[in-house]
Structure formats: C-alpha cells, structure tokens
Amino acid sequence: MRLKDLGIGLAGLAVLIPLSACGSSGGGTGGGTAAAGGPIAVEAKDDACGLTRAEADAGTITFEVSNKGTRVTEFYLYGEGDRIMGEVENITPGLTRRLIVEVPDGGKYQTSCRPGMTGDGIRAEFTVKGSATRQVDTNTKLAEATKSYQNYINSQVEPLVAKTGEFVAAVKAGKVDEAKALFPVARTYWERIEPVAESFGDLDPRIDAREADLEAGQEFTGFHRLEKDLWVSGLQADSGAIADRLATDVNEIATRAKTVELTPLQLANGAKELLDEVATGKITGEEDIFSHTDLWDFRANVEGSAAAVNALREVVNERDPALAKTLEERFKVVTDLLDKQHTGDGYKLYTDLSEAEVKAFAEAVDALGEPISKVAEVVAQK
Amino acid sequence: MSVSRRGLFGLAGAGVAVAGLGAAAGVLATGEQRQDAAVPASSVVPFRGQHQAGIVTPAQDRMHFVAFDVTTKDRAELVALLRAWTAAAERMTAGQEAAEGGAVGGHREAPPADTGEALDLPASALTLTIGFGPTLFDDRFGLAAKRPEALIDLPRFPRDDLDPRRGGGDICVQACANDPQVAVHAIRNLARIGFGKVAVRWSQLGFGRTSSTSTGQATPRNLFGFKDGTNNLKAEDPAALAEHVWVTGGPEWMVGGTYLVARRIRMHIEIWDRTSLAEQEDIVGRAKGSGAPLGQRDEFDQVDPHVRGAGGAALVAEDSHIRLAAENLDGAKILRRGYNFTDGSDGFGHLDAGLFFVCFNRDSRTQFVPMQQALSSRDRMMEYLEHTGSGHFACPPGLADGAFWGQRLFD
C-alpha cells in the first residue's frame, strides 16, 4: 500500500472515502453484475452524445462508447460537484471502448462526451435509482482520528529535521563516532512516519534507498549511503555533499508531510504497511546492513503503527471491542520483546541476536499483523 | 529383459502423443468456457522432433528442475555422458526404465540399473529438456568460441537477493510430468548416471503449473491466488512461436533452439494474505475471481489503459504488474512455463513458497531482461517478492533420429 495510490493530494476528493467508492477494482471480483437492462450504448459524435437510456440501477453500470464522429473523444460519468466516477479516454473514430463504473448511491449524475478531449463536453443528466444517497460520513470520531494522526506526524517531523541536521553536521565535521550515534536516532523519526514519507515517490528513494535496491545508473544517496561511509568505507570526498542533500530532502519532506491529509482508511492501511516493513526488512536485517541498527527502525515502525491504530482506537473500541483488545495485547507482546533487547542508550545490534530471538520477533509481528489487517474493514463500516 | 514401466498397457498403442501443434484439444474461441485438455496420464510425449519437448508441450502438472556443474575435465567423457543421458532420457520419456535390465532384471550382485520408484507408473507425459549455461563455454572443453552472444550472464536486477547456491550451472535439465514421482525419478537417474562427471548444483521441485501453454488449458492460479499467464504464448500459434521463441540466427548449433530463463521467486505470502482484496487487485491489475483486467468483463478481454475510475485514477495502474509486464516487452512476448513451489519453511514461522518462473524466449537481451528490469524497479508487486535464484541456459533444437543431446555443439 502506497498512500499515493489512494490519491493523496488529489484535490476535490472527499476527505472520508466510503469504502465502496475507494476500491478502484472496476468490475470487482467476478466481473460485476450488470445493472438492470445490461450495458448502455453511447453514440459519441462531434456534436452529440446519445445514450440508449439515461438511467440505471445503483451498482455496476456498463457503458459501451462508440465514436461515430471524426475526432478522438472521451466519455465521463460525473457525480456531484463534477466528481469523476469513471472515464474512458482516447476513443478514436470508429472505435468502441467499454467503461464499467461502480455507483453505489442513487441520485443525480452527469454523462459527458468530449470530442477532441477538451472542454466541458456534451453533457446530459443521468439518473441512478436505488439505494438512498449516502450521507457524508460526519462521524466525529473518525474526523478526530484524522486530526489526531495529523498531530502525530507534526510531532515527529520537527525532531526528524532537528536530528537529521545534527547527524549531517557531525558527518561534515568528520566526527564519525558522533555521527554513528546519531544515525539510528534520526532514522527513528523517519521510520515512524514511513508510509507518509513513501507517498512522496520522488524523495523517498533519495533519502532511504538501500544499496541492494538500486537500479542501474541510480546514484546511491541518503541515509544508507552515509551509513556505508561511516561503518564500512570511511568518509568519502563527497560525503559532505551527500549529507547536505539529505538535509535538504528531509526538510522538503517535512514541509510536505504537514500538508498530507489522511483518511481513516489510509491510517488503517498505513498501520498495516508499517508492520509489513518490519516483517520484510527489519526482521531480516536488510534495512541497516552496514550498521546493524535494525532494531531502532523496528521499534520506530511499530510505534508509528501503534500511533495510527491509537488514532482510530475509539472507533475500533466502539465497533469491534474484541479486536481492540487483541490489538492492545499483541502490540504489548512486540514491545515487550523489543524492551528485552534494550541496552544502554539503544538496542542490541541485529548481528548479536540469536536465531531464536529473531524467530520470536517474526512470530510476534505476524501475530500482530493479522488483527491490524482487519482494522480497515472496521473503519470502513457504515 | 526389458520390463515396461507401464506394465499391462504395453508400449504399443500407448496414450496419444500430445506434443505438436494443435494436437491438444482444439482451439477454442476466446471467451468460451475452456476445459483443460484431457491429456491421459499414461500418454507419451515424443522425445525427438524439430524442437525439444517440454517447451510448447501443454504444461504438465509437475516439474523437477536441476542444474549441474560439470566436474570432469575430459571433453570425451562429457560427450559420452551426453550420449548416455540421451539414451536414458529417451527410454524414460517412453515410459521405460532408465536402462536395459532396469530395476530388477540385472545381476543380483549388482545395484539395479534403474532406481525403481517409477515401476508400474505410466509415462505421465514426461518431457526432459536440456540447456547449457554460460559457464560451460570456457576453455575446459574448447567451447568458448561457440558461446552464443545471446547467452549473456544475466545482469543484476534491482532488489535481487540471489543465493549463489540456487543459481547458475553448466547444464540444466527440466523434467516435467503429470506425476511428481515420474519427474523426480527421471532427474534422480540422470544424476546417478552423471556421478564423477557432473555434480548437482541446485534443483527445484514445482507443482500446479502457473501458465497455460495451450488454448486447451484453463489458466491456472499462482500462490497469490491470481490467474497467471492469461496472455501467454500458446502452442497453437506457430507464427508467434517462430517470432518470439525459436532461434533463427546466432551460432548454427542453436538454430531451432531457444533460451531458458529460470528465476526462483520467493513470495511473501503471509503479508500478501493480510492485504485487502482491492489492493491485491490493484497491484496485479486483474480481478481475482474472473481474471479480467480491471475495468473489463472477461479474462481474455484486452487491457485498456484508457479507462479511469473514481477521481480519474487509471483502473489498471501504471505500476500494476500486468501493465508493466506488457508495456516493457515492446511488442515482444515470452513463453512462460513456471510452477508454484513450497520448500518447507524458513525457520521464522513462514512457508518458503513462491513461483519458480521459467520462460523461453528467442533472445533474453531484448525480451526477458528489459521486462524484468521494469518489473524489478517499478512493479508494486515487488513489495511481496524476492528473487532468490536465477539461471540462464541455451536449449539446443530438437533431436533427429540417432542424435544425442548437444551433438551439434560438440561436432
């Protein structure tokens, strides 16, 4: 789950996406059941947009759009406020393309053919019959969840910038020991908000790419490049420049992260994704392959996941108290295991863990991942 | 005496030969209900022909793949082994024991010439396919000049996590059959014949073919639960096979052959199973039930990248598996012939499971490699995948009567 896939930052998206409208799984499993009357034929011309009927039952609606005109066209179904329910583009003259749209709510919609693929197009009213139009979810608890998590992100962003700054300064001053001590600390703030950070696909690889994941010709930069310099190859001529760029990129992420608005569903999925990160990266010791400080990242991922779940706690408590209890218990198992590996000012190195200890971590993370994967559905309930 | 492994049935009049184009259940129109071609378990796939069997043969249910290192330094000894292997392979694919005398017909004071576990089992459509890896073409046997340019050392792909103990090899043999015991028996006996000349480097068992290679076969599912191989090349399309699979240029000994790429792909199935249905479908780009591309109705409908859903987001996302795989082949295709695997567990409470990807293409440099580069770096599915093994092999053309495996290479 990448938050960007959920359309973060897409203006005009309802803040709370009802589940039935958020899965972009077109025909759904089984191809969807056609609404009464079967597909609707659309005849698109340069100056007309004729439909065999201008109404359908709520559910899966199929349009077969034939371009009988001379210009390339496209077809849209709009909801209220020109919200796009579905569209099919690039229909060249003589071609027929299919659009299958899930419309769960009855109400007034608009169809539009756009000859030349510009302008407002040739519009017409379209009626969807059936289930009453759903009220916008004004559940204050969910709204509060969103807000509370936003506060959490902000609380992590400031120290992320500060600690990264200290780390960068130490690297540039050639203070290797100091930089080594700051490395896992700065990363902690990063790892707590990793799903948010990853939603900025342009910055994330520059800041956090692992050497093993690089593509041919891709420059190795960011935290892990400096990690390699500090622990393995010694500071390089360009370490300072790499450090400067890291500071710049982290500042940029911080600025952007403050503007991210997450839906409750995205919170739930983000909590799950943080656990996936632990299971595939940290438990295997692949994240911090040079410094072996994986347990710091592990802890931070778990804390970030817990923060997302906590933001939703009241909703989950209300709708599925048994799940809330399970989550609490299993989070505790994981954090207790982590506490056992606490040493002085941090954690035992990954390479000092026995196979049995790693296995215990893996099992606890699996046990926690399962109930976390059920939170999204609970949040999406109406 | 020669005991037929197929006991009562005898060899004559055995099951239908299922190799060859169009021999499987007839070509069905797209969208019709597809039935698996009913290949009788007892059928025999011809060992000799224009191309090696086991490539466009309708994919059998089971696989045992092995890669060998050549240990002998003596070219003549290696050639003698290839002759001996060919004789045993031809017998076994016909449903016979690996050698004359077999499991119980030899001298009582000698170990049996056949290991015996396939006694009484039918041929089970066994095919044995040989390939030669890049490392064979060094100075040991004077083959350096014969190395095809297309037989490259595969590049490192982003996020590769290759285990050297699960990759490479001088020679590979792919055994496919409808009975796992028959496939394992074949590999076991070839390995035994090879002792002292070759050593097993790695091997892989597979089940539940993940690609259909015939229009007479339904599209099977991989361990993510999705239909896999919908747009695969099919045996009934000789023009497409000629264009994408069979080699026409390069060294003379490879004309009519093909290049095999094997990738052992571990799937993080536990994490996948905790992923919502909508997310799974978005990652793959298909509906899980029907196999239809998102936004379409039926499995064999074409992917339409121009359809957009709520908010104007592409229904088949640009970083979805099917879209990347299709768009980065640039019109080229590959013949996929992979299998599922579960190799026990990983010691951390997870099944060591995934897809043993096998494909055949005319030139991996322009087909498999660019496709995999795009998938490794951009496919959202990569979050759930880990490539742990890799091999690249040149599979020579089929055998004329009397010829042995690799004869044209060593002539």
- How many Å apart are CA B198 and CA B81, to the nearest integer? 9
Task: Give me the pLDDT at residue B72, please.
Answer: 97
Element (DSSP H or E) covering residue A336: helix A321-340
Beta bridge partners of B286: B293
Contact B136, B191 (CB under 8 A): no
Interface of B with A in 336-375 (CB under 8 A): 347-350, 373
Which of chain A's residues have a Cβ under 8 Å away from the Cβ of B328? none
Pairwise CB contact (< 8 Å): B274 & A12: no
Beta bridge partners of A111: A77, A124
Nearest-neighbour CA in chain B from A169: distance (Å): 31
DSSP states of A337-356 as a string?
Answer: HHHHTEETTEE--GGGS-HH
Burial A290-323 (b: 16+ CB within 10 A, else e): bbbbbbbbbbbbbbbbbbbbbbbbbbbeeebeeb
- How many Å apart are CA B338 and CA A54, to the nearest integer? 48
Nearest CA in chain B to A364: B349
Q: Which residue has the tokens 């780390």?
A: A167
Closest CB to B159: pick one of A10, A100, A212. A212
Task: Give me the pLDDT at residue B40, please.
Answer: 62
Pairwise CB contact (< 8 Å): A87 & B312: yes
Q: What are phi and psi of B29, to 5 degrees?
A: -65, 140
**Close Cβ partners of B220 (under 8 Å, ≥ 6 residues apart):** B208, B209, B210, B211, B212, B227, B228, B229
User: Within a 13 Å sphere around the CA of B111, how many CA atoms are in the beta-carbon half?
Assistant: 5
Sheet strands side by side (includes A55-57) = A55-57, A122-129, A107-113, A73-78, A84-91, B307-308
Structure tokens at B308: 């957009």
Nearest-neighbour CA in chain B from A103: distance (Å): 10
**Close Cβ partners of B164 (under 8 Å, ≥ 6 residues apart):** none
Q: Which residue has the tokens 């989550």?
A: A327
Closest CB to B349: pick one of A13, A62, A359. A359
| Ramachandran quadrant class, B338 (left: phi over 0; alpha: psi -120 to 50; beta: rest) | beta
Nearest CA in chain A to B384: A280
Task: Give me the pLDDT at residue A197, please.
Answer: 79
Contact A283, B348 (CB under 8 A): yes
Structure tokens at A301: 């991922």
- Predicted confidence (pLDDT) per residue in B87-101, tens digit: 999 999 999 999 988
User: Within a 13 Å sphere around the CA of A327, how many CA atoms are in the beta-carbon half?
Assistant: 26
**Distance of CA B193 to CAs A367, A377, B88, B98, B299, Å?**
48, 58, 9, 10, 45
Pairing of strands B351-361, B258-267: antiparallel
Beta bridge partners of A125: A110
Task: Give me the pLDDT at residue B311, please.
Answer: 84
Contact B21, B128 (CB under 8 A): no
Nearest CA in chain A to B270: A366
Nearest-neighbour CA in chain A from B377: distance (Å): 7
Which of chain B's residues have a Cβ under 8 Å away from the Cβ of A215? 158, 373, 376-377
Closest CB to A89: pick one of B268, B275, B308. B308
Which of chain A's residues have a Cβ under 8 Å away from the Cβ of B160? 212
Contact A256, A200 (CB under 8 A): yes
Q: What is the dihedral of CA B238, B209, B379, A264, to 10 degrees?
A: 140
Weakly modelled stretches of chain B, pLDDT under 70: 1-42, 328-329
Pairwise CB contact (< 8 Å): A369 & B271: yes
Nearest CA in chain B to A217: B158
Nearest-neighbour CA in chain B from A108: distance (Å): 16
Closest CB to A363: pick one of B294, B295, B349. B349
Pairwise CB contact (< 8 Å): A97 & B270: no
Task: Give me the pLDDT at residue B33, please.
Answer: 32
- Predicted confidence (pLDDT) per residue in A230-242, tens digit: 999 999 999 999 9
Q: How many helices (H) and strands (E) does chain A have?
A: 13, 11
Weakly modelled stretches of chain A, pLDDT under 70: 1-37, 132-138, 382
Which of chain B's residues have a Cβ under 8 Å away from the Cβ of A32? 297
Q: What are phi and psi of B261, to 5 degrees?
A: -115, 130
- How many Å apart are CA A290 and CA A293, to the nearest integer? 8
Task: Give me the pLDDT at residue B28, please.
Answer: 28
Q: Is B376 on the interface with A (CB under 8 A)?
A: yes
